[in-house]
Structure 1
């Protein structure tokens, strides 16, 4: 798939083989620290919820009560905390709840998370800028506290350009945690801080402390958590609060009032808030919300010589659940030993532990089993760590150099400094298969359902039960007979065959067959086609323009403001910006084709139109309504950098590191380790290093 594509660097490279054995290619997912610490952060928020506001924000006045307190309600702090609301079981947040903790003991270190956030701000911004931010926050809050203050409108404070993506993400989080009444946005790498209008509006309805706790709960985004406002006997006032949350956060949150017992042991009412789930609207009954909570179990899957989807098929068949009940953040190599976090729905930790020995016989091990409160999401992956052995080292046939070690050193330094072209790797397309996944994706996009099914069942040139079943089906169209032959773990194939047996192998039957496969698997094939087009576009872009930024290129603003549409974050480079060298090639992105993306306004944009026309696709065609597939498109950087690169040479026979400059090529192996961002391929990075196609 990459043989004719461009390289970024100009070193000579060297030859070698990879994946001689699974242990030669080890992949370990790197989870985001924020994801790993999220439960701890939620717990910290609970512990600080009773701290006085001037402590938790370090600059604000004591909490005020802008609203009229209902009759009989205890004034805050005068007679102890009220009991927490007792909702019906369907609102149970479990240990993931971010509701204020009313039972905190005296002497607990309430300020530790706040001090940690302050320390992060000092380290990321420097003490002087951190103090200026603190002063801005105090001044803004003071202006808000003055009624009818003319200066209380929109205010902004610039933190200056923050070029490092990770530092920007850390700053967004640290600012929101220390100052919940502020929001942060990024404009061309410049971070802007301004007042949160929603925070200000809510603070006019409830106490300052409740407002602060609510926005911390909102920022934590724990899917099964709940938040409780203080007991409130004023029905009209509760209605106003309900309406505010519905108006501002209705797509994300839902609210309900419950009877509670206040500090005076009197019945009262309180508003509880929780995050919505997409399926909840279908699960509601006439009596309210469904009581049963889903069970989630997290674990680390170690697999060897297995595709990710194949491994999930084995697990699903053994556990009696659907493959769609598993969540994960990426597809891992087959010819490798890989480690990746997963979460499975409807399965308890005890049940998962029971199948451990059976899965070992399939090439899998299950580690670190524990309860979870939600599925994994794509944004929770920081990247992957690769530990790779390259064997059979030699010079390229056209290379007359006698010093292989120098060639290796030159290649490593070059790629570490300049990076590599961010192609999708060959495993994205089914490396070595007679029919590759992008061909199936194109057939689905063209709504050629029968063709897509036949491509899907095209066998490989081997004599085994799986390929024999595929061969039998294509020859006879006997779906029922193919089902008998096909092994149980081939979940996707069985789902499709069951539908074909019921509805027939015509256009309608094949459409229903594809619908019988989970959405995530259906769209996998379409994404493979989109990835192929992106690879071709990247190679074309580098061939005609090289590594210089040119007019009409697209650059992406990494603005974390989710209210800003994706296309508004993409900027078309102008001629004056090219002359001023405003952007680097590392900031240039190319679109993944879809119905809602911009195309470059140079020759590359024209190339996209011609390439898609060749495949009988138009720009508006990236919706396949019969299969419920919607492909809006996205953007991908042309280049990527490698992190934490290290390597050494080893004598393959003696297993000792080599330090001298004279290598006996046939007996030497290269051990190389590096980190890559999500959706980057180690084989592509190695291709750039070695100047070899795999």
Structure 2
């Protein structure tokens, strides 16, 4: 298990007394509501399905307007028979078997335009006939069979909806919906993934899936509800969110700790928290992801393969094709990196480790290197704050253009280039292929940063809330003081350098990474807290159940908002001064887990 100290998480932003607490005793103790990019907390409000069938009966333009569009698209006057046909369609006097022949049109673009024009009348349908002609008639029933079912969105390509889920990951929920709908989970788009153990609410888009079908599918699934349907031409992509609103219940507080808790909450609101990359960043496997990234950057291909496969070291790797086959048979299909490595070893030789790591999907390879960058960032942040938590130092980095608490969109991370893979957190996004759906919150490439001078300290032009540290790469600057030297020292310990590479293999060097800037101190927004007395440990305090003014047990309800790329667990760590392991320690239960 990865410990916080192993990944540089050792400092605190304030000296308030901590207290024992347990997070996620019930999954309902952890509630997350997405914040839209344009603002506003996402909550499931309306489960009514739009009545699209009635809307489809109304033509979107008159018969004469439709004729004008047809003539404009084809460059030829329309036959009077077409106008007569359309007028009879409006009067309901056209039999289902009647057809009007248009064309022929030898140009495919023309045929496509003609098909599109007649979609303005939902009761009509078209199909391509012989030699480029187009047949026009009534759609459905005994008329022309439509190539795809009509749907409520009209010309819009996507339905947008709110999804509420309990105790499951976002991708698992979408896979279940897709299975019920008999569609691939790839039709869904989301702005960010949400925790498994919790109650979460987020927006989703789906490509041409009727709201009615979505609502029916969700009713057949436990722990998923959908609603707030609308239609849009824009698909949601990872990173397109303004952050998340968290509502947490911390249980198991010492019964006599009320004053300590009040002081800690007040200190958190004043000082913020150290914007560390949380333990989720470094994986849950036997070998942390930053250790794999370190091996890749050092060109230790055998060690990287061993770590990916969960082996203690290169000396216990399979050495024959038979051993590779055996390992592959025992690898589950969802283990993407492990499967890719073993298949490559089977195909290219049991000891061809470089080819094996190159076979891993690019987004996963990048994830390992970003994890190592995150380890460096955490370690250097702790070093910098040991020098001073209250004042900037000459040589520190800040954003040249002050934008308040975060990036241009309020995020806690300034990305050096739009090609940078989104940086994962419980409050943000999964890793995704660079450039593919990577519309993450990004500042312009080579963002201008300012080096703090003695004059800046005298004029107090900047404060600690502006302090930045880079994730090392080719497009970022290092601090020009001892903090910058700490990067070089840590890299040298691992046999690495920002400028050179011992192996020169493309894709596995820090110089090949763009880099990013990240605020050192995070600031939770709209902090609310309330001490709760209760008597039974397992009651749903989030719903107000079991709260008793004279109860022997003490809990804390804590609510706050975070911008993308910040970790709620780091907020709770700052508040309680407890490690992740301590926060997730089990409390006694009266019954089965809830």
With the length of structure 2 as denominator, give the TM-score of the two structures.
0.60
1:214 matched residue in structure 2: none
1:404 matched residue in structure 2: 257
Are 1:458 and 2:458 counterparts? no
How far 1:383 sits from its partner (Å)? 0.9
1:540 matched residue in structure 2: 383
Are 1:637 and 2:519 counterparts? yes
Among 615, 631, 639, which residue is 2:494 paired with?
Answer: 615
CA displacement 1:359-411 (0-9 Å, x = unmatched): x47x766666665534434552111111211111128xxxxxxx411111111
Q: Tell which has more relative contact order, 1 or 2 (C-alpha 8 A, sep 6+).
A: 2
CA distance in 1, matches of 2:456, 2:170: 44
1:578 matched residue in structure 2: 457
8 Å CA contact retained: 2:215, 2:227: no
Among 574, 577, 592, which residue is 1:688 paired with?
Answer: 574
Distance 1:87-1:381 versus aligned 2 partners, 3 A rule: farther
CA displacement 1:512-548 (0-9 Å, x = unmatched): 421xx2x333322222221111111111100012220
CA distance in 2, matches of 1:313, 1:637: 35
Distance 1:512-1:542 versus aligned 2 partners, 3 A rule: closer
CA distance in 1, matches of 2:182, 2:338: 17
1:31-430 aligned within 5 A? 31-33=36-38, 298-307=160-169, 327-343=189-205, 356=218, 360=221, 372-377=232-237, 380-394=240-254, 403-430=256-283
2:534 matched residue in structure 1: 651
More helix, by proportion: 1
Distance 1:352-1:495 versus aligned 2 partners, 3 A rule: farther
Among 357, 370, 373, which residue is 1:530 paired with?
Answer: 373
CA distance in 2, matches of 1:453, 1:298: 41
CA displacement 1:435-470 (0-9 Å, x = unmatched): 11212222233343443333222189xxxxxxxxxx
CA displacement 1:628-667 (0-9 Å, x = unmatched): 995201111111111222222141427444556xx73xx2
Distance 1:626-1:636 versus aligned 2 partners, 3 A rule: closer
8 Å CA contact retained: 2:250, 2:556: yes
8 Å CA contact retained: 2:162, 2:229: yes
Output the aligned Cα RMSD. Answer: 4.6
Among 524, 544, 562, which residue is 1:676 paired with?
Answer: 562
Distance 1:502-1:328 versus aligned 2 partners, 3 A rule: farther
CA displacement 1:414-455 (0-9 Å, x = unmatched): 111221111111111125x42112122222333434433332
Distance 1:613-1:472 versus aligned 2 partners, 3 A rule: closer
How far 1:334 sits from its partner (Å)? 3.6
CA distance in 2, matches of 1:443, 1:313: 34
CA displacement 1:500-523 (0-9 Å, x = unmatched): 444444224413421xx2x33332
SS at match of 1:380: coil
8 Å CA contact retained: 2:269, 2:527: yes
SS at match of 1:550: coil
How far 1:352 sits from its partner (Å)? 6.3
1:17 matched residue in structure 2: 22
Among 473, 477, 481, which residue is 1:598 paired with?
Answer: 477
CA distance in 1, matches of 2:443, 2:554: 53
1:136 matched residue in structure 2: none
1:625 matched residue in structure 2: 506
With the length of structure 1 as denominator, give the TM-score of the two structures.
0.52
How far 1:499 sits from its partner (Å)? 4.4
8 Å CA contact retained: 1:349, 1:369: yes
8 Å CA contact retained: 2:306, 2:317: no
Distance 1:309-1:437 versus aligned 2 partners, 3 A rule: farther
8 Å CA contact retained: 1:299, 1:370: yes
- Of 580-589 and 369-378, deviating more is 369-378
CA distance in 2, matches of 1:638, 1:689: 17
SS at match of 1:523: helix
How far 1:580 sits from its partner (Å)? 1.3
CA distance in 2, matches of 1:674, 1:603: 34
8 Å CA contact retained: 1:295, 1:347: no
SS at match of 1:534: helix
How far 1:12 sits from its partner (Å)? 0.6
How far 1:492 sits from its partner (Å)? 5.2
CA displacement 1:136-188 (0-9 Å, x = unmatched): xxxxxxxxxxxxxxxxxxxxxxxxxxxxxxxxxxxxxxxxxxxxxxxxxxxxx
Among 10, 13, 16, which residue is 1:5 paired with?
Answer: 10
Q: How many residues align?
A: 426
Structure 1: gaps of 5 or more residues:
38-81, 89-255, 262-291, 396-402, 461-470
CA distance in 2, matches of 1:605, 1:579: 22
Are 1:444 and 2:285 counterparts? no
CA distance in 2, matches of 1:495, 1:447: 19
8 Å CA contact retained: 2:35, 2:41: no
8 Å CA contact retained: 2:290, 2:371: yes
8 Å CA contact retained: 1:318, 1:355: yes
Distance 1:304-1:567 versus aligned 2 partners, 3 A rule: same
Are 1:435 and 2:305 counterparts? no
2:135 matched residue in structure 1: none
CA distance in 1, matches of 2:12, 2:325: 48
Among 375, 380, 396, which residue is 1:553 paired with?
Answer: 396
CA distance in 2, matches of 1:568, 1:651: 51
CA distance in 2, matches of 1:578, 1:637: 19
CA displacement 1:33-79 (0-9 Å, x = unmatched): 36999xxxxxxxxxxxxxxxxxxxxxxxxxxxxxxxxxxxxxxxxxx
8 Å CA contact retained: 1:592, 1:635: yes
